[in-house]
Amino acid sequence: MDGILERIREDYRLRNRLIILVVLILIAAILGFLLNRKAGQKQAIAGSSFSFLVSIYDLTSPLGVATDADENIYVSNTGKSEVIVYDKEGVRQRTFNDTTDEKGDPLKFFSPYGIAVDDDSGKVYVCDYNWRGVRVLSKSGEFLYNLPKSPGDIPLDPNVGFAPFGIALGADNIYVTSKDGIYVFDLDGNYKTHWGTRGPAAGQYDFPNGIAADKETGNIFVADTNNRRIVSLDSDGKIRWMLGVSTKDDSTSVFQLPRSVAVGSDGLVYVTDTFWHRIVVIDQDGKLVSMFGERGTQDGQFSFPEGLAVSTSNRLYVADRQNNRVQIWQLSDSMPAVQPEDKMTWEESLTK
């Protein structure tokens, strides 16, 4: 009997040793993964060729991203109704939820989306489409005012209303997209005019999610999402060209669902095509330059990408919505080449 009890005790001790050993192995593996990931991030950030660099994780359905002259990163973490600021290395600094609104109440975001940063004035603009306005804050997170400044400032179609998705800062104007087109404000936030109505025809828009403005050329680029096209305008709102086809048949348009658009310091125009899980690069005349990305969860793959931004050092930031992260890429002249037949297809879709 004593021998049986001793064997039971020995089995129990052996099992405990095995459990401890397994736990130690798991801890070592996790620490190794984290250290390698951190080391890989530092190595990637130092790169200069076209490549995926690193991702910012721990987000929930991020829809918008922007950057400033210091390459701080501003993210609309829409699934958590918050706006988060990271430094250029992706280290979290603060949120914009720790302030008060125009009434002195705690500022709340409902569905933050497009973001723009004005380095000259130190202002940050956050579109909140379910709140139906644009929040304007300082870079430090202090609330300043709203766009529109009062509800009666802008004429609205009562059947459509104002639901801001994207925002862009031009040399003299602020451009905000809503369901039925583009609302134009001056740099002090005063309403000026509205371009477009809702529909599929030229000069109409259907849920244009993204917009970008090139201060050098004055050209404006709109991701006319439900019309499956990119529209380029001049500074007076006149159409320069349209790329894509307004149709319910996805196969007939070069874009399936363009969500966001950004202009780089090189003058190239970057577009997220959400349902094809890729980034499309075009020049200012609408000609295809490059395409990259595919659906997946690995580094460099996308799952329903949304907002994007390009920094002064040619870093591309992509809100990778379904992967709950923001990807950071290094752009260069060596971006993936496109096939001649692809270029021809895109040029045939260009309407001027």
Share of the chain above pLDDT 90, in %: 74
Residue 23 has pLDDT above 70, yes or no: no
Lowest mean pLDDT: which of 56-70, 109-123, 156-170, 312-326? 156-170
Q: For position 267, what pLDDT does the model report? A: 95
* Side-chain half-sphere exposure of 174, counting CA atoms within 13 A: 27
61/344: higher pLDDT: 61
Q: For position 30, what pLDDT does the model report? A: 47
With bands split at pLDDT 50, 70 and 90, how would you rate the model's confidence at 226?
very high
Secondary structure of residue 61 in the 3-state scheme: coil
- Are the C-beta atoms of 258 and 231 separated by less than 8 Å? no
Lookup result for tokens 């690995």 = 298
With bands split at pLDDT 50, 70 and 90, how would you rate the model's confidence at 324?
very high
Mean pLDDT estimate for the chain: 88
Token digits for 259? Answer: 């969500």
Q: What is the pLDDT of residues 267-289, one digit of tens each?
A: 999 999 999 999 999 999 999 99
Q: For position 286, what pLDDT does the model report? A: 96
Average pLDDT over residues 157-167: 88
Q: What is the pLDDT of residues 75-122, one digit of tens each?
A: 999 999 999 999 999 999 999 988 898 899 999 999 999 999 999 999
Indicate the pTM of the whole model: 0.86
Which range, 23-37, 248-262, 316-330, has the best average confidence (pLDDT)? 316-330
Residue 34 has pLDDT above 70, yes or no: no
Average pLDDT over residues 36-44: 37
Backbone angles phi, psi at 306, to 5 degrees: -120, -110
Average pLDDT over residues 254-259: 94
Give the integer Cα–Cα distance in Å for 277 and 226: 16
Q: For position 245, what pLDDT does the model report? A: 83
Q: For position 20, what pLDDT does the model report? A: 56
Contacts of 278-282 with C-beta under 8 Å, sequence gap 24+, read 278/302, 278/305, 279/305, 279/308, 279/316, 279/318, 280/255, 281/335, 282/230, 282/243, 282/346
Q: For position 250, what pLDDT does the model report? A: 54
With bands split at pLDDT 50, 70 and 90, how would you rate the model's confidence at 153?
confident
With bands split at pLDDT 50, 70 and 90, how would you rate the model's confidence at 246?
confident
Residue 39 has pLDDT above 80, yes or no: no
Q: What is the pLDDT of residues 58-71, one digit of tens each?
A: 999 999 999 999 99
